[in-house]
Structure 1
Amino acid sequence: MWTMFFSSLFLAASALSTAFAAPASTSNQLSKRCTNSATDRSCWGDYDLSTNYYETVPDTGVTREYWFDIQNGTASPDGYERLVLTVNGSFPGPTIIAGWGDTVVVHVTNSMENNGTSIHSHGIRQNYTNQMDGVASITQSWDGILGGIIINGPATANYDVDLGNLLLNDWSHQTADQLNAIAGTSGPHTFDNCLINSTNTYNDSGSRFETTFASGTSYRLRLVNGAADTHFKFSIDNHTMTVISTNFVPIVPYNTTMLSIGMGERYDVIVTADQAVSNYWMRAIPQETCSDNDNVDNILGIVRYDSSSTADPSSTGYDYEDSCDDEDISTLVPYLSYQVGTSASVTDDFIGTLTGGAGAIKWEMGSTSFVSQWDYPTVLQVAEGNDTWSAEQSAIELPTADQWVYFIIETTFAQAHPIHLHGHDFWVLAQGTGTYDADTVTLTTTDSPRRDVAMLPGTGYLVLAYITDNPGAWLMHCHIAWHTSEGFALQLLERESEMVALMDVATVNSTCANWDTYATEDDIVQDDAGV
């Protein structure tokens, strides 16, 4: 599945009105309008950081169109050549750039030799546009690669230069299909390497990512963890980062020297070039507590204050504790405050467990290992009025609008899991190790982090809340690639009775007909959970 990772602050598509209560008053709100510039990044035309972007979105009238041709190809990002899938001949694909309030149209041609594909915009709250969410077997067919997108909008701190996306990925010299087969029978593969913006060195081959800082200048970096199974801690030697957003949500800024970033998570940071003119290591450190990499100490980029320098840095990294915990939730305070509904209309408990047998590894969320139907996706089933859901489809039916839903997710397994929800931001109410106990765990319902990916700690719990304000079939899953493939997922069937009116049923039918023709001609047999 092609995944576009969104790291900036606001949605590009128009948002429909929701039934949220008005935001609670906050001392952070602005009352002015201005021109977005290096001296004041807080506004965007007639809108600013105090705009309730769940209900009000600018419409610039600008449409930005992109054409993607997905092809088989080869690449050697660390000096080792291997087969890859490319977009317009590049890996990763081209970066989409748009402004808050623009409309983005992406035209995709599948030129791969023998693969279906789908388009999923990771982190975009496809508001009343579930059919565009692009999840294999829930809304589309599957296979794929990744790329980036930047949506410009207001920010909670000022900066001079936007350096754009900084993609962090793990990397193997085997293909994803090969790795998935290994993981499904014997557990996770040990990755050969990791990449910073699609480059690194390996056995004296390849090259490092480099960027140049000018003294006194402040830079915005949009960090994206696009890894399959690696949790990173990111830092730049001798420099402090000001964190301004998490997973698309502007936050009250805070400073740190080391940022913990799980799979599928995104953070925007500002770094000021306030050190002596020299060269400094940029580090993306795989956390061995939950990640298995052969090249842990070599995931490095270079920040140069003198672009003519070619020497390797001699700087020393910050001390850190190897762990796969999220950033402390007390630091991730959304700029726009919302009060969580303090009583849930619906509460669901899920236990993440690992099962095996007959040579196959399966993950369960609750008591079921999720399996979708490649040839009969959820949106087609809904369009046909078929309301019979198998246990393996793990369809949690939420028929009522504007209900608060609480999810309590626990695991007794020692590995941490990044839990991702499509179609929504969720509120992180609690997160910790041990068994969740409602009598002793205090839920954070005021200024709790609002995001779309959060870490379920190993042998721990995660309590999430969201409101049913967006009709559709929305996937909630572990963002570790193998765990999703092995069934660690479920789908939230939200306001099903409203879904058909929002669909382009003709397109759903024609897409499924094309898949059926392809699957029959090429004898395609479903071999995993379907996502």
Structure 2
Amino acid sequence: MLFGSVFLGLLSIAGIAKALPSPNSSPRSLDARGSKGKHDGGKGYDNGKGRTKHKGPGKCRNGRRHGGKNRECWVDDFNIYTDYEEEIPYTGNTVTYALELTEVDDWTGADGQPKEVAMLINGGFPGPTIEANWGDEIEITVSNNLVSNGTSIHWHGIRMLDNNINDGVNGITECPIPPGSSKKYKFMAQQYGTSWYHSHFSTQYANGVVGTMIIHGPSSKSYDVDLGVLSVTDWYYAEAEATAAYVQTALDAGGGGGAPPSSNNILFNGHNVSPDGSTGAYERMTLTKGKSHRVRLVNPSVDNSFTLNLQGHDMTIIQSDFVPVKPYTTDSVFLPVGARLDVIIEANQKRGNYWFNATLGTFGACGASDIPYPAMIFSYRGAGDGLPTDEGEAPADKKCADSIELEPIVKRTASLEGFDPVDVVDIDLSGNATHIYWNVHGQPMNVNWGKPSLEYIKNGDSFEAERNVFAIADDPEWTVWVIQNNFGVPHPMHLHGHDFLVLGKSEPYDNPFSTDATVRTFDAGADSGSLNLDNPTRRDVTMLPGLGWLVIAFRTDNPGAWVMHCHIAWHVGQGLSLQYLERQGEIASTMDLDELDENCDAWNAYPHPYPQIDSGLRV
């Protein structure tokens, strides 16, 4: 991870769908079942004419309701084919949670090994699973009782339509919450599916400030049992701040020169045996023979991306991130850092115990771990608590690449009309005698915790170059990004505030570090014909191939300052991120920017015993 470059090409296409309102128009709204107007602080949405009336839960179309053998249906006429960017089943319900962050030295985790510093949510790792129904309001109070760190919590993948101020990114959408203070986040469950939440403050996420989310809604395939979330994550025993400092310190200065250490363990829902097998226990999930089971896979890792498989069983993917897809059956799935896959597993094998394996591959492109065979156990009911007797085989495909064959239920169509780069931004890895940085346009990302981007917008101030701000024009309706990676390490790229269309990417190398591997450069003339414009895969995280390219498109319909970044935490800390201003003229009219003041006043009054040593963003 020492030498490389990436460039982002910002392009535009037109004529894809009906035009959006002009920046000076009134807030737009949906039909009577939901609205997309100004956020009113968690009390619902206002269409500019007072509270919109919504249909509450009732009979589903043709008298059917969600459940059992009919998971496509939800309530009223809302179902798997409903476009949640156009309408939502507003319930009138508000779901509330309270999260308290605390700090413990030499904390013994569920693998039985001590971690130097653990930052816990409600006393545990991972934090509690937040659950709501599609169309609910969600209010979450975060109390910061850490010793000396600020914090902010990002609700990964949540669209936050007209609600950028609740995205939870310190230095962008808010000031950090200082120790001894709290903040209430408020947002609508506009999407449904599985996700997670995490600190966006420096290295806290790697110390344990992470949890999962379930927003219940329809499904593209029926199932009998929902087994809930299965998070698969890397785990480090060292204090994360020290690890980050090591990674970004140059080799000549005694650091890693940009290369991270191996993770110490891989945890399944926070559990596993230790690498030497002396402590801890395998995580287990129970299958009922003859039944179908939904499993919600989440990768909240710092660095490791996994290929996952259950010995002797196929998995049917029904959702990628927050996007429902046509059922896709496979014997293994690839799960990048930050991504989610909802799968259905049929318990159709002999009653017994089966290994569920997490494979990192053979060349280190997806990271490395000290545990030789990361695994957990799926046990058929009545099979006993013994270990599986069949070790099985690792997945044949070890490339660090995700599938682009998943077809969304709700279609989106793109066009290459006007496909011509209007800007090219170089991202490269550089350094000096002491530090290694990822540069964007010659400058690593560096946010100001005490003055977030929304504060700049509120005051009409100009952004410094180190904020890596890119303004996106209000028109046309879609914007397209070409991302070119001239180094061997793949990057899991994440976009806030949007799902994006994965129009295409170069074929990944089996071993991108081979001397025979050369850069596959995107050529608009030669490669445009290979792009999928007709309902391509849609995600909020996807892999940028090593030595290759990625092309994505997204609608410019969500006012705010949104971050796009690599989800490898060490890379973000070294500056590999940017922010773009979207529909800037509408930001102040779609949210109350005065909400920034209380938290920023508290943060700026805090004495700050430790300086900011990285970009200020860590995922």
TM-score of the pair, normalised by structure 1: 0.91
Q: CA deviation at 1:403?
A: 2.5
Could you tell me how far apart the structure 2 residues matched to 1:280 and 1:251 are?
A: 27
CA contact (8 A) 2:472 2:583 kept: yes
Alignment-derived partner of residue 37 in structure 1: 67
Q: C-alpha separation between the residues in 2 aligned to 1:15 and 1:368?
A: 39
Q: Do the aligned partners of 1:371 and 1:529 also contact (CA within 8 Å) in 2?
A: yes
Q: Partner of 1:81 in structure 2?
A: 114
Residues 299 and 335, structure 2, Cα contact 8 Å, conserved in 1: yes
Q: Which residue of 2 aligns with 1:48?
A: 79
In structure 1, what is the equivalent of residue 303 of structure 2?
A: 229
Which amino acid is 1:111 matched to? N
1:184-333 equivalences under 5 Å are 184-185=248-249, 186=256, 187-202=259-274, 203=276, 204-288=278-362, 289-307=364-382, 309-315=384-390, 316-327=392-403, 329=404, 331-333=405-407
CA distance in 1, matches of 2:134, 2:371: 37
Q: 1:462 to 1:367 in 2, by over 3 A?
A: farther
Structure 2 residue aligned with 1:439: 525
Letter in 1 for 2:401: D
Report if the CA contact (8 A) 2:317-2:329 is conserved.
Answer: yes
| Secondary structure in 2 matching 1:407 | strand
Alignment correspondent of 2:124: 90
* AA matched with 2:535: D
1:72 paired residue number: 103
1:63 is aligned to: 94
- Report which stretch shifted further, 234-243 or 294-303: 294-303
Structure 2 CA distance, aligned partners of 1:496 and 1:195?
A: 41
Query: Is 2:563 aligned against 1:457?
Result: no
CA distance 1:474–1:306, change in 2 (3 Å)? same
Deviation at 1:366, TM superposition (A): 4.2
Conserved in 2, the CA contact under 8 Å of 1:389 and 1:395?
A: yes
Q: CA deviation at 1:31?
A: 7.7
Q: Which one-letter code corresponds to 1:248 in the other structure?
A: F
Aligned pair partner of 1:360 in 405, 410, 435: 435
Please state whether the residue corresponding to 1:235 is helix, strand or coil: strand
SS of equivalent to 1:474: strand
Tell me how far apart the structure 1 counterparts of residues 156 and 479 of structure 2 sit (CA, whole Å). 22
User: Is 1:16 matched with 2:36?
Assistant: yes
Q: Deviations over 1:329-374 (max 9, x none)?
A: 1x21101111124335875444442112122111124443211112
The aligned residue for residue 104 of structure 1 is 138
What CA distance in whole angstroms lies between the structure 2 residues aligned with 1:137 and 1:190?
Answer: 29
* Deviation of the 1:506 alpha carbon: 2.7
Aligned partners of 1:75 and 1:104: how far apart in 2?
Answer: 32
Partner of 1:130: 164
Cα distance in 1 for partners of 2:326, 2:426 equals 33
Native 8 Å contact 1:160 1:218 kept in 2: yes
Any residues of structure 2 matched to 1:420-431 within 5 Å, and which?
420-431=494-505
Counterpart residue type for residue 320 of structure 1: A
Question: Could you tell me how far apart the structure 2 residues matched to 1:216 and 1:348 are?
Answer: 55
Counterpart position of 2:236: 172
- Contact 1:230–1:290 under 8 Å retained in 2: no
User: Alpha carbons of 1:450 and 1:33: their partners in 2 closer, same or farther (altered >3 Å)?
Assistant: farther
Shift of the alpha carbon at 1:163?
A: 0.8
Residue 596 of structure 2 aligns to a residue whose secondary structure is helix
**Residue 460 of structure 2 corresponds to which residue in structure 1?**
385
1:363 corresponds to which letter in structure 2?
W
Residues 1:420 and 1:294: Cα distance change in structure 2 (over 3 Å): closer
Measured after TM superposition, the shift of residue 443 of structure 1 is 1.6
**Residue 497 (structure 1) aligns with:** 585
RMSD: 2.0
Does the alignment pair 1:467 with 2:555? Answer: yes
What amino acid sits opposite 2:611 in the alignment? Answer: V
Deviations 1:313-335 (A, max 9, x none): 022134322221111x1x21101
Show structure 2 runs of 5+ residues with no match.
Answer: 1-32, 39-59, 177-200, 250-255, 508-519
Moved more, 31-40 or 463-472: 31-40
Shift of 1:160: 0.5
**CA pair 239-245 structure 1, distance change in 2 beyond 3 A:** same
Percent identical across equivalent pairs? 35
Q: Are residue 515 (structure 1) and residue 603 (structure 2) matched?
A: yes
Contact 2:100 2:121 in 1 (8 A): yes
Q: What is the CA distance between 1:451 and its match in structure 2?
A: 1.0
- Say which SS state the counterpart of residue 244 (structure 2) adopts: helix
Q: Aligned residues, how many?
A: 503
Distance 1:473 1:15, change over 3 A: farther
CA distance in 2, matches of 1:200, 1:247: 25
Contact 1:364 1:488 in 2 (8 A): yes
Quote the residue 2:514 is aligned against: none
- Displacement of 1:268 in angstroms is 0.4
2:351·2:383 contact (CA, 8 Å) conserved in 1?
Answer: no
Unpaired segments ≥5 residues, structure 1: 1-12, 19-29
Paired residue type of 1:393: R
In the alignment, residue 326 of structure 2 is paired with which amino acid?
V
Distance in 2 between the 1:480 and 1:122 partners? Answer: 14
With structure 2 as the length reference, what TM-score do the two structures score? 0.78
Q: Deviations over 1:366-396 (max 9, x none)?
A: 443211112211011111111x122211111
Q: Which moved more, 1:32-41 or 1:153-162?
A: 32-41
AA partner of residue 314 (structure 1): T
Q: 1:352 to 1:260 in 2, by over 3 A?
A: farther
| Residue aligned with 1:406, SS | strand
Give the AA of the match of 1:280.
Y
Q: 2:246 is paired with a residue of what secondary structure?
A: helix
Q: State whether residues 456 and 463 of structure 2, in contact with CA within 8 Å, keep that contact through their aligned partners in structure 1.
A: no
Q: Which residue of 1 aligns with 2:488?
A: 414
Which fold has the larger relative contact order, with Cα–Cα distance below 8 Å and residues 6 or more apart in sequence?
A: 2
Moved more, 444-453 or 140-149: 140-149
Shift of 1:307: 4.5
Letter in 1 for 2:591: M
Cα distance in 2 for partners of 1:157, 1:344 equals 38
**SS of the residue 1:179 aligns to:** helix
Aligned to 1:5: none
CA distance in 2, matches of 1:15, 1:172: 43
